[in-house]
Structure 1
């Protein structure tokens, strides 16, 4: 499953992801920058937050982990990147990819 949540800036997207991750121990989050991980996510969740800029980095980070959901915090990633992520991970019926971001187009 691929789900996109297009919300305004400052509407609580990251806060919502944190709440969802606290409810589901098999959920991971993908952020584009390490600073987002370090500054916005609680320490107890940071081991499940991946900061990566390329698909290869994400793939390396996901090796050996158990997960059922991947939340993407921010639409800084290109549509192609999200499609590639979904194609390679989301096509497994038990993995959901859920994007929270702001599309200003």
Structure 2
């Protein structure tokens, strides 16, 4: 059985995603992406082809971006805190250029070390 990381959703990102994602394919991609993020083997080997997980540039904090769908631009922000994955926000495809503005506008959500 595969080892999984704990996924924390203190801001209701799962509920919000199911409510605002425009079609079923994006909802399925979101759930597949969460499964990949929870899989510790993907992190160990650093192979995350579905989400293309990477650190958000321009912020000192360890805020990571995980794609829901590359073409549409939908993605989520996560942070690793105490060995757990914390979902922080879901970002629409049209807002991907203002990622730093989104983070700054919701700075209370993010852990500032």
- Considering only CA atoms, is the larger Rg found in Structure 1 or Structure 2? 2
Quick one: higher RCO (CA 8 Å, sep 6+), 1 or 2? 1
For normalisation by structure 2, the TM-score amounts to 0.29
